[in-house]
Amino acid sequence: MNADFLVLKIHDEVASLNELKDDEARTLGVREEVRRQIEQALPSVRWQEEGQGVWWSGEVFSVEIGLPDEEPVHSLTLKVRMHPMLGANAWLSDEEDELEDFLVALCDPAGWTLFDLASGRRFEFGDELEDGESEPSAWHEAGLVN
């Protein structure tokens, strides 16, 4: 499955993009700081140009990073893409865990929040779910994204 995410720095109370008020999101940082944070979470990221990075996880999926041309940076996008030769059934729990580890490593140290662009909902990692709550990951819910 493919999924698109938006990364923002916001207050903890915001559960969806619809709840976000104008100018409520804080800056992620200056471009150099944001790139450094991405490179710490993804040491093998390859920058194709100043604001476009790609990271491959083995042979199963990639994460395309979109860094807007603004200073300071207010948001960034992440596009998770399955390898085109693999079907949706290739998505296994190991890959899901690896993707979640990356997303946590990217967002937690900087206090960034992740939103699923298909639903507008704040993405909740496995350790953020309430006891007994079981919600599928956003990339399972998301349809094909071009």
Q: Which helix (H) or strand (E) holds 101?
A: helix 93-107
CATH of 3-141, one of 1.10.10, 3.30.1400, 3.30.70, 3.30.300: 3.30.1400
- CA gap 97, 44 in Å, rounded: 18
Q: How far apart are the first and last CA of the chain?
A: 11
29 DSSP 8-state letter? B
Closest CA to 34 of 79, 71, 81: 71
For the stretch 81-91, pLDDT in tens is 877 666 555 55
The string of pLDDT tens digits covering residues 75-123 is 999 998 877 666 555 556 677 777 888 888 889 999 999 999 999 999 8
The pLDDT tens digits for 8-66 are 999 778 899 999 888 888 999 999 999 999 999 888 899 988 889 988 876 677 889 99
Whether a cis peptide bond, with omega within 30° of 0, leads into 43 is: no
Give the type of residue at 112. W
